[in-house]
Chain A
Amino acid sequence: MDKILRVNMSTGKTTTEPVPAPYAALGGRGLTSQVLLDEVPPDCEPLGPFNKLILAPGLLSGTSAPSSGRMSAGAKSPLTGGIKESNAGGIASQKIANLGYKAIIIEGKPAAGEQYLLKLTPGGVELLPAGDLAGKGGYETVALLKQRYGEKVGVVFVGPAGEMLMAGAGIGNNDPEGHAGRYAGRGGLGAVMGSKGLKAIVIDAPRTFDVPVKDKERFKTAAKKFADILHAHPVTGQALPAYGTNVLMNIINEAGTLPTRNFRRGRFDQANDVGGEKLAEACTARGGKATHACHPGCVMRCSNIFILPDGRSLGSLEYETAWGFGPNLEIADLDVIGELNYVCNDAGLDTIEAGCTLGVLMEAGVIPFGDGKAAVEALKEVGKGTPLGRIIGAGATFAGKVYGVTRIPSVKGQGIPAYDPRSCRGNGVTYATTPMGADHTAGYAVTANILKVGGDVCPITDEGQIELSRNLQIATAAVDATGLCLFVAFAVLDNPEGLPMIIEMLNAMYGLSLTADDVMALGRHILHTEKEFNTGAGFAKADDRLPEFFYNEELEPHQTRFALRDELDQVINF
């Protein structure tokens, strides 16, 4: 990964540049956020020519490091108006890394209506006209491009939602079987890609694990030990492979913090009907897979393959999606949830934002709560670009304003994920304070709040939540730079050998002598970079708060309200 590819969509010119020295030790989110601060005016129009879209594999992506195939996408977000990094599994990251690219920077803007395809091969780079792909859904786009360029290519794409510049649009890429379902979903980055006139990137790379490492033997030993650590932990070695991410549905429900009926209650009576155990059964019964790796070399294999009743293969159905279209809408049918997920994957829409938005529409009475058929019909409007479809595609905050809803679950304009902040308060602190807008992954306090991993902090009191969120936000920023899946944290938080083994892999690969302090310093640096960008974009303390109703309405069953306000200003205080 010794070069950066720059694609100017105004001129159609592509250039390959050496990696500047200050970027050498950055990858993934660390690199996307740094390039944004260095090259993009924070006050720019997110869908205009001065915003840039940066794709970056992590520092360890494309090697034999287990579960290291995350790809970061970064840009100024049209949803939040601030800096955004969203990362995805799937097969693109390892391929980009194995072609030697540390980052791809998409800049400028073509004439209105022009659509392009970027093709990367070992032989070089081509920017090709792609008008024939305009308006095509995610599944068809991936299938066509595999047919055209080879069964094994990686495809990074936007659906019609991205082409139509909807602020809830994500950037997708394919899993090893070709499902168009691995999304860097959050923050509307699909709209940024759409604004650049870039429909897809095809990556044809013959290798997956062969990015050069300086000390091969030392790296191999560390990677093996790290895989052993993941296998040995009961979460990463047993629960995630067996039941997938949706294993969370029941424990979050039992803990009374499962947002139900647009965050009215903390429990859903039928949660078990849409939980991980039922999902695993359904995947197996229809000839899908309950255990599946979203990219080669993942040892946790928390993905799945869910087959819809008519035989269409969705790809993976994840917890956040099952929640957003399930309890959040009072829908208790996995097939309906799967259909809503399919519509999102095809239109190119973030499922969390779409779930929050449908919840807001139900709150407004546009669709009845629990009405799966009406939800599917409404969501299908997105791909057609009708007025209702554009309102849904614009996200929960916008939809709420259109319909006069005051109970909008969002922070900085981004919908709140699957843990109610009143009874999982560490995550409430993260939603309020991360530079990303409401993002559960940015400081996943569910670990210590609910799962008793990496500590034990009572979720329904305020004590310890600020520190918990701060420490997790720093560690997460660092993990997001490595390309490792964040789920390695379940094992790393509990095993004192975990972090040293990640550092050992980095040191062996790059010939460095990093310490744990250096890694935490990297995490802090990334957060500072992002805060600086957001300050330039106009964010202030008032933006680091939760919506009013979380402070005013009690959540059953624990009768909790969120209470932290000024204390939130101390989270990123370093």
Chain B
Amino acid sequence: MPVEVRVFCGLESCIPGARSGEPMWVDIKAGESGRALLARLNIPEEKAFSFLVNGVRRDLTVGLADGDRVAVFPAVGGG
């Protein structure tokens, strides 16, 4: 089952070949959790400060569905 993943602000260094902010399709098991996805991508949980699924912040227990848009950020702020 594919999910559309974007990682940002240095987290791309965890994934060989990944570029910040560019979409990657990742094949996961149906209902796989956010935590399992991070493990699959070798992103340490403590670096994944914001985990968004379809534009909504979720905790890492969230079960992912086919085609979900996932975005992972370290802590950021500005204005």
Chain B residue, CB-CB nearest to A275 = B21
Q: Does residue A245 face the partner (Cβ distance < 8 Å to B)? A: yes
Interface SS of B by simple majority:
loop
Known: A234-B49, A247-B9, A452-B49. A254 touches B55 (CB 8 A): yes
Chain A interface residue count, CB cutoff 8 Å, equals: 47
In the complex, the answer to whether B78 meets A254 with C-beta atoms within 8 Å is no
In the complex, the answer to whether B79 meets A254 with C-beta atoms within 8 Å is no
A236 and B78 alpha carbons, distance in the complex (Å): 9
Chain A residues lying within 8 Å of B74, measured Cβ to Cβ, are: 234, 238-239
In the complex, the answer to whether A254 meets B52 with C-beta atoms within 8 Å is yes
Tier of interface size on chain B: 20 to 34
Q: Does residue A453 face the partner (Cβ distance < 8 Å to B)? A: yes
Chain B residues lying within 8 Å of A275, measured Cβ to Cβ, are: 21
In the complex, the answer to whether A319 meets B9 with C-beta atoms within 8 Å is no
Known: A234-B49, A239-B9, A558-B55. A451 touches B76 (CB 8 A): yes
Interface residues of A in 92-121 (CB under 8 A from B): none
Q: Which residue in A239, A256, A271, A486 is a CB contact (below 8 Å) of B76? A: A239
A254 and B71 alpha carbons, distance in the complex (Å): 7
In the complex, the answer to whether B77 meets A277 with C-beta atoms within 8 Å is no
In the complex, the answer to whether B55 meets A244 with C-beta atoms within 8 Å is no
A441 and B77 alpha carbons, distance in the complex (Å): 13
Interface residues of A in 195-248 (CB under 8 A from B): 233-236, 238-240, 242-248
Q: Does residue A50 face the partner (Cβ distance < 8 Å to B)? A: no
A447 and B76 alpha carbons, distance in the complex (Å): 10
Known: A272-B22, A557-B54. A247 touches B10 (CB 8 A): no
Chain A residues lying within 8 Å of B49, measured Cβ to Cβ, are: 234, 452
Chain A residue, CB-CB nearest to B70 = A254
Q: Does residue A139 face the partner (Cβ distance < 8 Å to B)? A: no
A422 and B50 alpha carbons, distance in the complex (Å): 21
In the complex, the answer to whether A255 meets B55 with C-beta atoms within 8 Å is yes
In the complex, the answer to whether A250 meets B57 with C-beta atoms within 8 Å is no
Chain B residues lying within 8 Å of A490, measured Cβ to Cβ, are: 77
In the complex, the answer to whether A486 meets B79 with C-beta atoms within 8 Å is yes
- Write out, one digit per residue, whether chain B residues 49-79 have a CB within 8 A of any chain A CB (1) or not (0): 1101011110000000000010101111111
Q: Which residue in A240, A266, A320, A460 is a CB contact (below 8 Å) of B77? A: A240
Q: Does residue A182 face the partner (Cβ distance < 8 Å to B)? A: no
Q: Does residue A472 face the partner (Cβ distance < 8 Å to B)? A: no
Chain A residues lying within 8 Å of B20, measured Cβ to Cβ, are: 272, 277
28 contacts between A and B (CB under 8 A): A233-B75, A234-B49, A235-B75, A235-B77, A236-B77, A238-B75, A239-B77, A239-B78, A242-B10, A245-B78, A245-B79, A247-B76, A248-B76, A248-B77, A250-B8, A250-B21, A251-B73, A254-B6, A254-B69, A255-B57, A272-B22, A276-B78, A277-B8, A278-B21, A423-B55, A451-B77, A453-B77, A460-B56
